[in-house]
Structure 1
Amino acid sequence: QSLGCSLSQNVYAAIKQPCSLSLGSQIHNKTLKRTRKFVVDGVEVSVTTSKIISEDEKKDEEMRFLRRQELRELRLLQKEEHRNQTQLNNKHHLQLEQMLRRFEQEMTAKKKFFDTELENLERQQKQQIEKMEQDHSLRRREEAKRIRAEQERDYNKFQEHLKQKKKEVKTEAEKLPRYVRKESMKVKTEEFAQKKQVLEREFVAKQKEDLELAMNNITVQNRKEICDKERECLNKKQQLMRDREASIWELEEHHLQEKHQLIKQQLKDQYFLQRHELVRKHDKEREQMQRYNQRMIEQLRIRQQQEKARLPKIQRSEGKTRMAMYKKSLHINSSGSMSEQREKIKQFAQQEEKRQKAERQQQQQKHEFQMKEMSAQCESNANELQQLQNEKCHLLVEHETQKLKALDENHNQHLKDWRDMLRPRKKALEDELNQKKWEQEMFFRLSEAADGQTPASLNKPVKFVPFSSAECS
């Protein structure tokens, strides 16, 4: 706006110069009379004032009126420009708010998706562990039942074998002489009974040890399966957490890029509006300049027509005066006949006609020169205005280029800072995951080292049922 005002002042200061051209015309004044009526002490009084208005004052007043009108047009343009700029700013503010809300919704939806997946994974893990526990209990019962059945058969066979041994002992005792048979039978029977108790005790102990060993093997195998399942679930859970963080980081980077593109487009829209408003203002200034030039040319043409119309009257009046003075000088210096005087008067009239014709030609040349000078001045003013407008457009384009460049540099720096901050975030995540994995491994080792203790998952303790002698019965 300040550039526009200084532009208009410079141009109008330049184009006022043709007004001072000397046209050699007489100044015609006009009298403006105004009558005012008012009542003083009940008596109506009328006062008439008169003011002499010259042509220059009238023209100055017209120029001031036209200038005020042009300033009003520029102010209207300025108000419309301010209104359009306000509307564009409100639109950009709304776009930014909507984009930020959408970013928040997308981030919330992304986190909710992975949280749901993590909950499903933990629930699935819990169900799998519970099923493995049930399968383990069922397998222990079935295996214990099978082993007890085999041990029962083996025990029966062992008893049959002992009975056979007992028979063999009796048979051997019966083969002895009768006088030692009874005593030998008694001794061998007692020895066999003691041996039988020892063999039965050892056999039962061996069966119990085998049953406990089989149950412990099943328990160890189940512990190993559950530990493997826990490791697998932990790996899946940690991979899901890595995917979650990677998706969040990717979404953050996408949001940064999208926000930069929106701000960049809004900046372009602002400068597009400024260029549009500047073109409208330049069109209005050129239109005002053209009207001003047309008025100046029209005023010059009117003055020239007035001078051209007054010149014959002035020439006739001057011609009559010169002719009367010439005749009077001939009458005073009367010499020669009347015919000679008439001839001299005729020659003087011819010279006077030539002089007037030369005056008219000189006036025509002067008018043509004035018109050319006025046209050149108008063209020079238009060129100066066009040059100033081009400079303003060029400055606006340069300013837009600098702003866009600074915006891109700021975005690149912001993106670089964000990526630099991303490295410690990744390292912290990996450290946390490795710590959890280490804690799980330490828990498994402690569980394996403890007798009768079973490993447990990080989320839910797993209960292992140790083998008891009750299962043998």
Structure 2
Amino acid sequence: ADYGQLALLSSLPPQDSRLQKKTLKRTRKFVVDGVEVSVTTSKIISEDEKKDEEMRFLRRQELRELRLLQKEEHRNQAQLNSKHQLQQEQMLRRFEQEMMAKKKFYDTELENLERQQKQQIERMEQEHGLRRREEAKRIRLEQERDHTRFLEQLKQMKKEVKNEVEKLPRQQRKGNLKAKMDDFTQKKQTMEQEFLAKQKEDLEQAMKNIIAQNKREICDKERECLNKKQQLMRDREASIWDLEERQQQEKHQLIKQQLKDQYFLQRHELLRKHEKEREQMQRYNQRMLEQLKVRQQQERARLPKIQRSEGKTRMAMYKKSLHIHSSGSASEQREKIKQFALQEEKRQKAERLHQQQKHESQMKDMQAQCESNTNELQHLQNEKCHLLIEHETQKLKSLDESHNQHMKEWRDKLRPRKKALEDELNQKKREQEMFFKLSEEADGQVPVSPTKHAKFVPFSSSESL
């Protein structure tokens, strides 16, 4: 019966400690009609309610920190977007300036070439005019000398005719002289006309040869100038094409670098957020450990009191049980009480050991839970970083593929542009050759430059003056 009563007593639950009550005061300030009003409220809360309130306050603080990080992230993102927009605008303005400068350079070169061509043609025309006049003057002088010699030959022939007549008898001289002189006069007139006609023909032929030579020189100069002009146009278009290709490559590199900057900022902000999350997780784990330590400390502090109270109660109940079921002497009862006290001490010691083991187990479980929380958070953060890197790699790859496709389309369109340019240049060359050919066929005409009005004039006697 004694041991059964001991078993019943040991199974009794420990007494619950009264929850400590605390008063929470909050003061709120308002401005009503320009007057600041303060309202203070009081609330009596238990220890658990206080802990819950602290947890909510800490959670709200953590949310505020995350919102501040988010606002700063949005601000940094907006600044980066503005910077990228400014870079693109500056790049487009610079591209336009480079293209205008390139075109202006070649347009100026073309203008200079055309001006030089015009000056060269004008100088050649002046030289050709001077050459024609000098050559005509030289030929006329030679023809005048030839004509003088021819007249001397005619005089000599006249003398010879007179000498032949003087060899005849006197009575025949008069009649034969008149007839011979008439024949000589007619022959002289015919020979002089033929001589002058031959001189005129030779002069005209010489002038035609000179004009033909001048025409060939001008044609050669026109061809040379056209070749230079067309080569300059080819260089102009090739330079423009190279500039377009370089600008597209530079634009692609800028967009690619801006994309890298975007992801660099995202990684930086993500790492900051992860660092903040780890700090919050560390604080949360620390709070859990501290709360567990406080609770265990409170349990260790309450256990001796509970054990003393329970010990007294159990001892009183045991003594009362002995008194009710008294079956032995007083010494036997004292021995039983002593044995009960020893057993009670052993039980309390075992209970303290069990509490210590329970606390150690709780601490290990809590530490394991904290470590698990940290590992899980680290795993999620690593997954986010990995996904961000994968997304960046995919975007960069897609950007490169899009650029390569764009460059392929641009090169495909470049071939027709080159062919159109060559067709246009060949057409200009054919038109020039046709112009020269028609000009050569024209009698007394000299080829005129397709870019200016110029004409050779036929030889006239005034050129010999």
Fold match by TM threshold 0.5: yes
| Pick aligned residue for 2:313 from 321, 324, 345 | 321
Q: 1:129 to 1:53 in 2, by over 3 A?
A: same
Counterpart CA distance in 1 for 2:89 and 2:372 is 51
Q: 1:366 to 1:24 in 2, by over 3 A?
A: farther
Do residues 60 (structure 1) and 56 (structure 2) align? Answer: no
Counterpart CA distance in 1 for 2:247 and 2:450 is 36
Q: 1:218 to 1:24 in 2, by over 3 A?
A: farther
Do residues 84 (structure 1) and 76 (structure 2) align? Answer: yes
Q: What does 1:302-381 align with in structure 2 at a 5 Å threshold?
A: 302-381=294-373
Counterpart CA distance in 2 for 1:388 and 1:82 is 23
- State the AA in 1 paired with 2:104: K
Residue 29 of structure 1: CA displacement?
A: 4.0
| Pick aligned residue for 1:195 from 171, 187, 203 | 187
| Structure 1: 5+ residue stretches without partners | 1-22, 37-47
Residue 383 of structure 1: CA displacement?
A: 1.0
Aligned to 2:23, what secondary structure does the other structure show?
Answer: strand
Q: 1:180 corresponds to which residue?
A: 172
Residue 431 of structure 1: CA displacement?
A: 1.2
Aligned to 2:375, what secondary structure does the other structure show?
Answer: helix
- State the AA in 2 paired with 1:220: A
Counterpart CA distance in 1 for 2:117 and 2:60 is 85
Give the stretch that moved more between structures: 455-464 or 353-362.
455-464
Q: 1:194 to 1:471 in 2, by over 3 A?
A: farther
Counterpart CA distance in 2 for 1:330 and 1:128 is 146
Q: What does 1:132-147 align with in structure 2 at a 5 Å threshold?
A: 132-147=124-139
Q: 1:13 corresponds to which residue?
A: none
Residue 340 of structure 1: CA displacement?
A: 2.9
Aligned to 1:176, what secondary structure does the other structure show?
Answer: coil
8 Å Cα contact 2:95/2:247 also seen in 1:
yes
Do residues 425 (structure 1) and 417 (structure 2) align? Answer: yes
Counterpart CA distance in 1 for 2:15 and 2:207 is 135
Q: 1:419 to 1:451 in 2, by over 3 A?
A: same
Q: What does 1:189-338 align with in structure 2 at a 5 Å threshold?
A: 189-338=181-330
Do residues 102 (structure 1) and 97 (structure 2) align? Answer: no
Counterpart CA distance in 2 for 1:200 and 1:265 is 96
8 Å Cα contact 2:133/2:464 also seen in 1:
no
Q: 2:36 corresponds to which residue?
A: none
8 Å Cα contact 1:114/1:244 also seen in 2:
yes
The one-character-per-residue Cα deviations of 1:360-400 (angstroms, maximum 9, x if unpaired) are 00000110111111111111111111111111111111111
The one-character-per-residue Cα deviations of 1:266-303 (angstroms, maximum 9, x if unpaired) are 00000000000000000100110010000011000000
8 Å Cα contact 1:31/1:50 also seen in 2:
no
Residue 334 of structure 1: CA displacement?
A: 3.4
The one-character-per-residue Cα deviations of 1:59-101 (angstroms, maximum 9, x if unpaired) are 1111111110000000000000000000000000000011111
- Percent identity between matched residues is 80
Counterpart CA distance in 2 for 1:319 and 1:99 is 89
8 Å Cα contact 2:24/2:45 also seen in 1:
no
Counterpart CA distance in 2 for 1:158 and 1:184 is 25
Do residues 32 (structure 1) and 27 (structure 2) align? Answer: no
Counterpart CA distance in 1 for 2:265 and 2:24 is 52
Aligned to 2:425, what secondary structure does the other structure show?
Answer: helix
8 Å Cα contact 1:215/1:467 also seen in 2:
yes
Q: 1:324 to 1:471 in 2, by over 3 A?
A: closer
Aligned residues: 440
Residue 34 of structure 1: CA displacement?
A: 7.3
Counterpart CA distance in 2 for 1:296 and 1:433 is 86
| Structure 2: 5+ residue stretches without partners | 1-13, 28-39
Counterpart CA distance in 2 for 1:310 and 1:178 is 193
Alpha-carbon RMSD: 1.9
Residue 50 of structure 1: CA displacement?
A: 7.3
8 Å Cα contact 1:297/1:374 also seen in 2:
yes
| Pick aligned residue for 2:110 from 101, 107, 118 | 118
- State the AA in 2 paired with 1:30: K
8 Å Cα contact 1:27/1:55 also seen in 2:
no
Q: 1:217 to 1:292 in 2, by over 3 A?
A: same
Q: 1:264 to 1:24 in 2, by over 3 A?
A: farther
Counterpart CA distance in 2 for 1:259 and 1:230 is 43
Counterpart CA distance in 2 for 1:388 and 1:236 is 70
- State the AA in 2 paired with 1:451: D
Aligned to 1:32, what secondary structure does the other structure show?
Answer: strand
Residue 346 of structure 1: CA displacement?
A: 1.7
| Pick aligned residue for 1:168 from 145, 160, 172 | 160
Counterpart CA distance in 1 for 2:96 and 2:220 is 39
Counterpart CA distance in 1 for 2:161 and 2:215 is 50
8 Å Cα contact 2:15/2:306 also seen in 1:
no
Counterpart CA distance in 2 for 1:268 and 1:390 is 20
